[in-house]
A and B are shown apart, each in its own frame.
Chain A
Amino acid sequence: MLLQRFLIRLLTMLITLFGVAVVVFVVIRVAPGDPIAMMLPPGATDDDIARLRALYGLDKTIVQQFFIWLSGVVRGDFGTSISLRQDVLGLVFNRLPATLELAIVALIMAVLLGGTMAILGARERGTAVEAGIDIASGAALSIPDFLWGLVLILLFGVLVPIFDISGRVSPQLDLPFVTQFYLFESVLRLRFDLTWDLLKHMLMPAVALALPLAAIIAQLLKQSLKEVLDLDYVVQARVKGFSETQVILREALKNAALPTLTLVGVQFTFLIGGTVIVERLFSYEGLGNMAIDAVINRDLPLIQGIVLVFALLFVLINLAVDMMYALLNPRLRHG
């Protein structure tokens, strides 16, 4: 049953990805403006232009171009960036780790913050504490990451300048890293000075991304916790002598978390989508920042590659969440 579910999801995932590829391709080819013209120095001959067109495959029909491009993509060849004159896949992989680290730190923060708020609100249900949590999460939810980013820049970059608001790492530092997963590698190398510097840069953009998600988790998890806390097995745990906090953590949390988990999956893709502008805001050298540059430079192959990688990330997350839900639910696991 689990396998069948997995295969069906895998198939729809491939259809979705193909759809994304078609949409991106069509959108980009409709674009006015000749990318080739931007690459050549003034005074280039028509011959030069034609040669470059042929080089980038721009002289064929749209359908031909699409399938040439797609067959390359399937083999891992995303083409060559027009503005940076480098392999697209290499560029994307160079930047993806920075974005992933940012997104994962933000996710962890959102889960910790939202979870704490939910547990506190459920424990203090019916009191002023719960009302306060409701108001805080309502505000955090209505204000998008872009605005949170700006608020944080003002508060902790200008008013109380304790965090860095620009870049990924202090430029004067010597980086011994071989991978692009700086944060992860700095921990492995026990270079905690670098970890701290990276975190100081990452904290503000991560908080901006985390706040709306934390609010959703707080609201939804608190609701399901409150429902579970009236059930008989929770009463049984109270009779056993466990405190309300223990009851929530040991008995209620796991069962209440299942509905939240599905939603967090979808919301995590929104969070990753948010990295595009938040990275720009904090000049963080990730994939999203590069994507905006690519659009401004009309770098078609690079845009295509980045969008496809984002889409792949999104459907993989949805797939993972779906599978996790099936695994965590004992009823589903045992058929």
Chain B
Amino acid sequence: MSACLDIIDLSAVLANGQRVLRSVSLTVQPGEVRALVGESGAGKTMIGKAVLGVLPSSVRIVEGDMRLEGEDLGRLQPKARRTLIGARTALIPQDPLTALNPSRRIGPQMTDRLVRILGWSGDKADKRVRQLLDEVQIREPDRVLRSYPHELSGGMRQRVLIAAAFAAEPRLIVADEPTTALDVTVQKQILRLIAELQREHGTAILFVTHDLGVVAKISQKVSVLYAGKVVEEADTATLFASPQHPYTRALMAATPRYTDPFASLKPVDETVLAGLAAEIAAADQAWSRPHG
């Protein structure tokens, strides 16, 4: 059986020629959670957006393949690709405040994919959405479905978005730092919800985060990203037990253990960064030669 998501040698550049992704390869197996971890600017969000076909117009893919359940996304016509992505993937966004349309009620925003893309009946979609709202522990579905986004709290909105993401039974969910914009107390609940729903529905997740604590809790596999390049890839348990790459070790050292809130936050060691810069430069040189 083919992988849920297969990214092979994906490279992307900005309009000014600066590289944002350098030959990224990663695989997400069905039902598996793969964490994509790195500092801000490492390109981890770009990978998620590239898969979903929503890269900003300033970013251009120059090389590589992306396969969603064996379908080569690059070979599909734009319209077919849109429909395929709509039917098989979903996005749990970073900021629930801006990811819901302020002028539309929650209900139609949750059901529109089911009805208009998947062709479900309105009743079936409504039932499905209510079931998912129950799963994300929203107790007043009637009120919530009738609300406008600004009438709900940030945590509630993220629950709504999670419910909407799972409602269509996608094969792959891209979760783009889904807890970053929330209060610390809400973060834990939301993370637990995503983990629970993932287990129940068996959905594969590409989980983008900068937080190793979150990685440890939710994922089975990890890819560590630095400057648009995957520097290490491993089972989550293996990675935490014996990180191989100096950058991974530095990142771990810089992260306060979630069990020890008083641990000091150390910056990533300078010599590690210098070594990385040399590694990246060498990779770029090797990359640019055959492309002129």
**Among residues 154 to 205 in chain B, which have CB atoms less than 8 Å away from a CB atom of chain A?**
161, 174
Cβ-defined partner of A233 (8 Å) among B53, B56, B99, B148? B99
Per-residue 0/1 for B67-83: is the Cβ within 8 Å of any A Cβ (1 yes, 0 no)? 00000000000010011
A331 within 8 A of B: yes
Measured between alpha carbons, how far is A125 from B58 in the docked complex, in Å? 12
Measured between alpha carbons, how far is A251 from B108 in the docked complex, in Å? 11
Q: How far is the CB of B139 from chain A (nearest CB, A)?
A: 22
Cβ-defined partner of A239 (8 Å) among B90, B94, B98, B150? B90
Residue of B nearest to A251 (CB): B101
Q: Using C-beta atoms within 8 Å of the partner chain, give the interface range for chain B.
A: 35 or more
Measured between alpha carbons, how far is A231 from B104 in the docked complex, in Å? 15
Q: How far is the CB of B97 from chain A (nearest CB, A)?
A: 9
B117 within 8 A of A: yes
Q: How far is the CB of B92 from chain A (nearest CB, A)?
A: 10
Cβ-defined partner of A331 (8 Å) among B57, B90, B102? B102
Residue of B nearest to A238 (CB): B54
Q: How far is the CB of A317 from chain B (nearest CB, A)?
A: 23
Per-residue 0/1 for A298-335: is the Cβ within 8 Å of any B Cβ (1 yes, 0 no)? 00000000000000000000000000000010110010
Q: How far is the CB of B260 from chain A (nearest CB, A)?
A: 34
Measured between alpha carbons, how far is A63 from B186 in the docked complex, in Å? 71
A33 within 8 A of B: no
- A233 touching B98 by the CB < 8 A rule? yes
**Among residues 35 to 64 in chain B, which have CB atoms less than 8 Å away from a CB atom of chain A?**
49, 52-54, 56-57
- A241 touching B86 by the CB < 8 A rule? yes
Q: A239-B54, A241-B113, A242-B82 are in contact. Are A330 and B102 (CB under 8 A)?
A: yes
Q: Which residues of chain A are within 8 angstroms of B104 by Cβ–Cβ distance?
A: 251, 254
Cβ-defined partner of B150 (8 Å) among A241, A242, A330? A330
Q: Which residues of chain A are within 8 angstroms of B117 by Cβ–Cβ distance?
A: 240-242
Q: How far is the CB of B15 from chain A (nearest CB, A)?
A: 11
Per-residue 0/1 for A225-244: is the Cβ within 8 Å of any B Cβ (1 yes, 0 no)? 00000111101111111110
Residue of B nearest to A254 (CB): B103
Sample of 14 more A-B contacts, CB < 8 Å, known A233-B102, A243-B79 = A125-B57, A232-B94, A232-B98, A233-B99, A233-B100, A235-B49, A235-B93, A235-B99, A236-B91, A239-B53, A239-B54, A240-B113, A242-B117, A254-B104
Q: Which residues of chain B are within 8 angstroms of A235 by Cβ–Cβ distance?
A: 49, 54, 91, 93, 99
A250 within 8 A of B: yes
Q: Which residues of chain B are within 8 angstroms of A251 by Cβ–Cβ distance?
A: 101, 104
Q: Which residues of chain A are within 8 angstroms of B148 by Cβ–Cβ distance?
A: 330, 334
Residue of B nearest to A247 (CB): B82
A255 within 8 A of B: yes
B151 within 8 A of A: yes
- B99 touching A236 by the CB < 8 A rule? yes
Q: Which residues of chain A are within 8 angstroms of B90 by Cβ–Cβ distance?
A: 239-240
A171 within 8 A of B: no
Measured between alpha carbons, how far is A239 from B56 in the docked complex, in Å? 13
Measured between alpha carbons, how far is A242 from B168 in the docked complex, in Å? 14
A-B contact pairs, 18 of them (CB 8 A): A125-B57, A230-B56, A232-B94, A232-B99, A233-B99, A233-B101, A236-B93, A236-B100, A238-B52, A240-B112, A241-B82, A241-B84, A241-B113, A242-B112, A242-B116, A254-B104, A255-B103, A334-B151
Per-residue 0/1 for B227-258: is the Cβ within 8 Å of any A Cβ (1 yes, 0 no)? 00000000000000000000000000000000
Q: Which 7 A-B pairs have the closest CB atoms?
A: A241-B86, A232-B98, A240-B113, A241-B117, A232-B99, A239-B91, A233-B101
A126 within 8 A of B: yes
- A238 touching B93 by the CB < 8 A rule? no
Q: How far is the CB of A70 from chain B (nearest CB, A)?
A: 44
B216 within 8 A of A: no
Residue of A nearest to B49 (CB): A235
B65 within 8 A of A: no
- A255 touching B101 by the CB < 8 A rule? yes
B8 within 8 A of A: no
Residue of A nearest to B94 (CB): A232
- A232 touching B93 by the CB < 8 A rule? yes
Residue of B94, B113, B150 with highest tally of chain A CB at under 10 A: B113
Measured between alpha carbons, how far is A316 from B54 in the docked complex, in Å? 44
Q: Which residues of chain A are within 8 angstroms of B161 by Cβ–Cβ distance?
A: 236
Q: Which residues of chain A are within 8 angstroms of B99 by Cβ–Cβ distance?
A: 232-233, 235-236
Measured between alpha carbons, how far is A232 from B84 in the docked complex, in Å? 20
Q: How far is the CB of B237 from chain A (nearest CB, A)?
A: 31
Q: How far is the CB of A207 from chain B (nearest CB, A)?
A: 32
B85 within 8 A of A: yes
Q: Which residues of chain A are within 8 angstroms of B112 by Cβ–Cβ distance?
A: 240, 242, 250
Residue of A nearest to B105 (CB): A330
B26 within 8 A of A: no
Measured between alpha carbons, how far is A166 from B255 in the docked complex, in Å? 80
Per-residue 0/1 for B217-235: is the Cβ within 8 Å of any A Cβ (1 yes, 0 no)? 0000000000000000000
